[in-house]
Amino acid sequence: MSEPSAAAPVPVEERLFSLVLALLATEQGLTKSEILSTVQGYRQRYSQFGDNASLDRQFERDKDDIRELGIPLETLEQPGDPGNNQSLRYRIPKGEYDLPSDITFSPTEIALLSLAATVWRQGSLSAESQRAMLKLNSLGIESDEPVIGYAPRVRIRESAFDPLRIALDKHAIVKFAYLKPGEATGRTRTVAPLALVQHHGRWHLSAHDIEVDDNRTFLLSRIVGPVTTTTKTWMPPEPSGHAERSLRELDALWESQVAEIRVEPGTDAATRLSKRAQPTSNAAHENELRLNYTDVDILADELASYGPEVLVLTPERLRAAVLLRHRTTVERHRNTETQPGGGTTRG
């Protein structure tokens, strides 16, 4: 019989679940070498006298994943050996991880929560669904299995998400064509992915742009064509915190950019936009709204889609962008009417 190391890799959710169980089962904690050599998902690749650098990096990422789940992972220093990373011990204090005594889930409730997580299984958010399933499974409550069989499948729109997520796990450098507003064709960008974040309903890639040697944020919907994963890798100077930094920057941009618009009362624009907007301080115009935004062209696309129901007051850049879209629409209709076979029937 062959050694387990020759078998297929252990799924990430199984490895994380095994790590959580191991850290819950110890009072004094486990060292990194003890974890890598004994826990399912690590021990299959562990070499007692060889190079375990890639396995060590995997453990660092797994620690971040566990903490993102809300699991209180503690790092303990040895009293007689402070500052020595090799002697650090890791544990999950069971008392802090247990649910509060006044919160319980029935088997049916666990089944419904599991159903929500498995909606994304095999989809573009499979990594996040695996983390959610780990959190539910760690509660130790059996679910009503028949409910799970009715889980639908949902995928996000951007096809770039999956290859970028895989490259992110491997620290692989990728190439893709990125189309900025106003450009006719996309320009090839070579980047090292740092984090994938969702901000106000849109996915962004935080990455290190190799050509300019600086960090940049890319909107996934502007990636055109396939994402090519290269054989080169790049390790960031800071091992973590990239998602938080990217979200802080996007939040700051969103807060700093405000558009003032006027909507026709009782219209679709008034109903939809007022849900996420704030009234202006001008009491004389109750139909004026303030909208925060991160991308002027995305907001211009949306506002132009409402036609005459929306009037942009400020900023001038947004007003010009919306007017340009209206003029382009009119011009396209005129061209259609003048083409053979494309004219409208007139009575």
Could you tell me the pLDDT band of residue 158, with boundaries at 50, 70 and 90?
Answer: confident
User: CA–CA separation, 288 vs 265, rounded Å?
Assistant: 10
pLDDT: which is higher, 91 or 106 = 91
Is residue 23 scored above 90 in pLDDT?
no
**Residues facing 198 on adjacent strands:** 203
User: CA–CA separation, 200 vs 279, rounded Å?
Assistant: 20
**Residues facing 219 on adjacent strands:** 204
User: CA–CA separation, 45 vs 94, rounded Å?
Assistant: 28
Q: What is the pLDDT of residues 259-302, one digit of tens each?
A: 999 999 999 999 889 888 876 666 557 789 999 999 999 999 99
Q: What is the architecture of the domain spanning 4-97?
A: Orthogonal Bundle (1.10)
The sheet carrying 223-233 orders its strands as 214-219, 202-209, 187-199, 172-178, 223-233
Domain positions in the chain are 4-97, 107-148, 161-240, 257-338
Report in angstroms the alpha-carbon separations of 88 from 29, 200, 238, 327: 9, 39, 20, 65
**Peptide bond just before 315 cis, omega within 30 deg:** yes
**Residues facing 206 on adjacent strands:** 195, 217
**Backbone φ/ψ region at 70: left (φ over 0), alpha (ψ -120 to 50), beta:** left
Mean pLDDT confidence for 184-207 = 91
CATH class of 161-240: mainly beta
Is residue 201 scored above 90 in pLDDT?
no
Whole-structure pTM value: 0.55
> How far separated are the first and last CA of the chain, in Å rounded?
84
Is residue 156 scored above 90 in pLDDT?
no
pLDDT: which is higher, 207 or 137 = 207
Ranges 90-94, 169-173, 319-323: which has the least confidence = 90-94
Mean pLDDT confidence for 55-63 = 88
Give the mean pLDDT of the chain. Answer: 79
**163 neighbors 205 (Cβ within 8 angstroms):** no
